[in-house]
């Protein structure tokens, strides 16, 4: 049986319009063979969790450059769990200090990529770490 | 004498060429040598004199020998009182122009007490919710004597109204108010992504503002047509040139269709370019832009007033080129970019600070950035000659090529039915995303270099500082806004807002009703809510 293609939601929370990185990652993941859904800008955690459930994705990648990562990541995880989708892998990237990245991983964020991470690193991480949901 | 081709075959090819791609930052391939063979145009038609059509060599006859460019550094933070103190300090230091940065809620049309404003109040700029904040911002600053630049777009109509009402309260007639408001909505859909309603009504509001300023505040520049954000989003230099000028054409077209005489309003249009790191490419871009605008205004719109054809521009060095790694290197990048801006003939400039990728700049870093411009102006001697690189075979060939490539984009956009249609189908958005992706790939493959990042990197701790939100400041502003909303005459506010909604529907110019609304203490969020209700909310199509 052919392996199911992984579905990834790339999401951009917050009021800012810095979507250059999110779009590059979405494109790289798509070229890497995944099914990619990009939310577009200005999403709230509620909208992101809802889209993840609606689209039945295996992972959610958040792009956060506003400095609000310590509230947005846990909020998305909480809402996913509330909607019975706590097994969706949440990862992300942006301008995130090392010490915050450590704390985020303790809160259940699977991977945090900071400026300088290559698109290849990210595609490789998804390939090796994200599994289709049951 | 040999032809260039013969020289290439017989002489150049005997030498060694390193196996790298010789191309600009935007990936235009560059030849090893340019000669008179590469510069085909007639001198008078393509270059001419500074201060004369087609303005390739400069918009003013004496350029920097007459007056240096304006060194205009952008500032804004916290509550209006905080920014007011900074403004008064800058004015006391001899600066004669102010440049205002607003916070995200103000920029997106939300009041400080809105749910979506949480954590953002006063963070990346000053918080302005009502006329009372505008009054605090300009307390003891004579609006009739300073020129103020306001970087705001989808809520620009409200901020302009507040500024004019504040002028009125200082006893300054609108005819004496000078300044610039960015108000370039088309580039929001293309690049910066700060919007309220869909593109067509947004352009209607911009057109209302052009019409209103032309008639009521003729010294105010109602739009600053901006390539900066387009480039920062990943566009090439040619795309920046093409999409920005196409945006300008769309505003002019709409204003002309409104019945305005092109020579009445076009002299008050100004531009805003990004100055990136590819030195010759940037100089060529600035020169090509002037020639394109002059020709298009004359040929397409029949402009007769020379000032309608002059592309006057502000410029800012490229924020996106700054690196968190080895941040001192940024001083060098900014200096080279600023030099390109000056050699390209800009009218005003902001130079970025070396530490801006890490946090809000320190005072020392801001000082170095300003000194960079002063050193170029007063030590390097480049200001002695107007357009000193004019006539360089390489510069002229590149100027011609950028103009031709950008005109090809403009032709495609015309074919689609203009920029509004092009944005609807995601054309500029996709072109930029494609260019950004290609550049990222080239960086990862080492085809393009960023010193200290993908080459010459060193083990280093990068001190990423996240700006801590001052909860107390935010709370103070929220309480102040709530108190104002409780105490104002709510019937008058409702009536004024109803008039704004009516103008949205019946097509009358929105600016007078908005001025009335702000006089009656209506807020940026409330007027933006009228836009949301009357015109709908634009949703990011998320093109990738």
- Looking at CA atoms only, how far is residue B237 from chain A in angstroms? 16
Q: Is residue A134 part of a domain?
A: no
CA diameter of chain B: 85
* pLDDT given at position B169: 98
Domain containing A14 equals 7-129
The residue among B464, B465, B469, B471 with the most chain A CBs within 10 A of its CB, best to mutate, is B464
> Residues of chain B with pLDDT > 70: what percent?
99
- Nearest by Cα to B428 from B184, B200, B234: B234
* pLDDT given at position B287: 98
Give the residue ranges of DSSP H helices in chain A. Answer: 20-31, 45-54, 69-82, 98-106, 119-129
* Alpha-carbon torsion (B296, B302, B305, B308), positive or negative: negative
Which residues, numbered 73 to 92 in chain A, qualify as contacts with chain B under a Cβ-Cβ cut-off of 8 Å? none
Name residue, tokens 């357009």. Answer: B387
* pLDDT given at position B51: 98
* pLDDT given at position B77: 81
Quick check: A42 and B540 CB within 8 A? yes
Specify the CATH number for the domain of residue A42: 3.40.50.280
> Residues of chain A with pLDDT > 70: what percent?
98
Q: Is residue A99 part of a domain?
A: yes
Query: Where are chain B's structural domains?
Result: 17-60+182-324+341-351+384-456
The residue among B435, B437, B448 with the most chain A CBs within 10 A of its CB, best to mutate, is B437
* pLDDT given at position B356: 84
Residue A2 confidence (pLDDT) above 80: no
- Listed as ranges, residues in chain B with pLDDT below 70 are 96, 464-469
CB contact A121 to B (< 8 Å): no
- pLDDT (tens digit per residue) in A13-29: 988 888 999 999 999 99
Q: Is residue A17 part of a domain?
A: yes
* pLDDT given at position A96: 87
* pLDDT given at position A3: 65
Q: Is residue A60 part of a domain?
A: yes
The pTM assigned to this predicted structure is 0.95
* pLDDT given at position B470: 74
* Distance from C-alpha of A120 to C-alpha of B536, rounded to nearest angstrom: 40
Which residues, numbered 453 to 482 in chain B, qualify as contacts with chain A under a Cβ-Cβ cut-off of 8 Å? 453, 464-467
Q: Please, is B178 exposed, middle or buried when counting C-beta atoms within 10 Å of its C-beta (0-12, 13-18, 19+)?
A: middle
Chain B residue at shortest CA distance from A15: B104
Q: For residue B133, give every residue at least 6 positions away whose Cβ sits within 8 Å of its Cβ, in sequence order, or none.
A: B79, B80, B126, B127
Quick check: B542 and A41 CB within 8 A? yes
Count of domains for chain A: 1
Q: Is residue A117 part of a domain?
A: yes
Residues of A with CB below 8 A from B153's CB?
A: none
* Distance from C-alpha of A105 to C-alpha of A8, rounded to nearest angstrom: 19
Confidence category of residue A1, pLDDT binned at 50, 70, 90: very low
CB contact B447 to A (< 8 Å): no
Q: Is residue A1 part of a domain?
A: no
- Looking at the DSSP assignment, which residues form a beta bridge with residue B316? B274, B350
- pLDDT (tens digit per residue) in A36-75: 999 999 999 999 999 999 999 999 999 998 778 998 999 9
CATH 3.20.20.240 fits B17-60+182-324+341-351+384-456, yes or no: yes
Quick check: A23 and B437 CB within 8 A? yes
**C-alpha B321 chain-centroid distance:** 16
The residue among A34, A42, A112 with the most chain B CBs within 10 A of its CB, best to mutate, is A42
CB contact B428 to A (< 8 Å): no
Q: Is residue A72 part of a domain?
A: yes
* pLDDT given at position B72: 84
* pLDDT given at position B280: 98
Q: Is residue A2 part of a domain?
A: no
């Amino acid at each position: 049986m052919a392996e199911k293609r992984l579905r990834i939601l790339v999401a951009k929370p917050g009021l800012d319009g810095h979507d250059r990185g999110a779009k590059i990652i979405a494109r790289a993941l798509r070229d890497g063979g995944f099914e990619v859904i990009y939310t577009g800008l200005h999403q709230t955690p509620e909208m992101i969790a809802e889209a993840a459930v609606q689209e039945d994705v295996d992972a959610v990648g958040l792009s956060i450059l506003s400095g609000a990562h310590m509230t947005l990541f846990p909020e998305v995880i909480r809402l996913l769990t509330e909607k019975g989708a706590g097994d969706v892998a949440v990862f992300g990237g942006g301008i995130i200090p090392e010490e915050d990245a450590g704390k985020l991983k303790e809160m259940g964020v699977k991977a945090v990529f900071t400026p300088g991470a290559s698109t290849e690193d990210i595609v490789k991480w998804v390939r090796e770490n994200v599994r289709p949901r049951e | 004498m040999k032809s260039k081709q013969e020289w290439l075959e017989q002489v150049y090819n005997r030498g060694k060429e390193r196996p790298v791609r010789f191309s600009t930052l935007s990936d235009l391939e560059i030849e090893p040598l340019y000669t008179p063979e590469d510069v085909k145009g007639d001198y008078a038609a393509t270059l001419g004199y500074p201060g004369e059509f087609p303005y390739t060599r400069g918009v003013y006859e004496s350029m920097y020998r007459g007056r240096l460019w304006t060194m205009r550094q952008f500032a804004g933070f916290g509550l209006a009182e905080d920014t007011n103190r900074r403004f008064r300090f800058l004015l006391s230091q001899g600066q004669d122009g102010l440049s205002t940065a607003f916070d995200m809620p103000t920029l997106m049309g939300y009041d400080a007490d809105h749910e979506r404003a949480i954590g953002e109040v006063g963070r990346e700029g000053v918080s302005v919710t009502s006329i009372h904040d505008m009054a605090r911002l300009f307390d003891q600053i004579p609006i009739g004597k300073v020129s103020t630049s306001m970087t705001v777009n989808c809520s620009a109509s409200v901020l302009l109204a507040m500024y004019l009402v504040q002028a009125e309260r200082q006893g300054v007639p609108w005819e004496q108010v000078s300044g610039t408001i960015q108000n370039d909505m088309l580039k929001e859909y293309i690049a910066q992504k700060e919007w309220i309603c869909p593109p067509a009504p947004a352009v209607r509001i911009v057109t209302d503002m052009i019409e209103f300023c032309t008639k009521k505040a003729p010294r105010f520049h109602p739009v600053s047509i901006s390539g900066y954000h387009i480039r920062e989003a990943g566009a090439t230099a040619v795309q920046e040139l093409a999409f920005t000028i196409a945006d300008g054409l769309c505003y002019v077209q709409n204003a002309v269709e409104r019945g305005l005489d092109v020579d009445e309003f076009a002299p008050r249009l100004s531009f805003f370019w990004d100055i990136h790191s590819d030195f010759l490419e940037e100089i060529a871009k600035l020169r090509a832009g002037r020639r394109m605008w002059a020709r298009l205004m004359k040929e397409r719109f029949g402009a007769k007033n020379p000032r309608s054809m002059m592309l006057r521009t502000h410029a800012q060095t490229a924020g996106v080129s700054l690196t968190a790694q080895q941040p001192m290197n940024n001083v060098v990048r900014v200096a080279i970019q600023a030099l390109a801006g000056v050699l390209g003939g800009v009218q005003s400039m902001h130079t970025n600070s070396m530490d801006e990728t890490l946090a809000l700049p320190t005072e020392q870093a801001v000082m170095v950035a300003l000194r960079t411009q002063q050193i170029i102006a007063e030590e390097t001697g480049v200001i002695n000659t107007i357009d000193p690189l004019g006539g360089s075979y390489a510069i002229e060939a590149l100027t011609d090529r950028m103009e031709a490539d950008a005109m090809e984009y403009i032709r495609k956009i015309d074919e689609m039915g203009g920029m509004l249609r092009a944005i609807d189908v995601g054309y500029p958005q996709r072109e930029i995303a494609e260019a950004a992706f290609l550049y990222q790939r080239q960086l990862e493959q080492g085809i393009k270099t960023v010193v200290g990042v993908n080459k010459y990197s060193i083990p280093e701790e990068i001190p990423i500082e996240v700006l801590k939100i001052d909860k107390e400041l935010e709370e103070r502003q929220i309480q102040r806004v709530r108190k104002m909303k409780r105490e104002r005459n709510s019937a008058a506010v409702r009536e004024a807002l109803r008039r704004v909604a009516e103008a949205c529907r019946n097509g009358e110019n929105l600016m007078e009703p908005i001025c009335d609304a702000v006089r009656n203490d209506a807020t940026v969020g409330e007027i933006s809510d009228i836009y949301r209700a009357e015109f709908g909310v634009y949703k990011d199509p998320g093109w990738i």
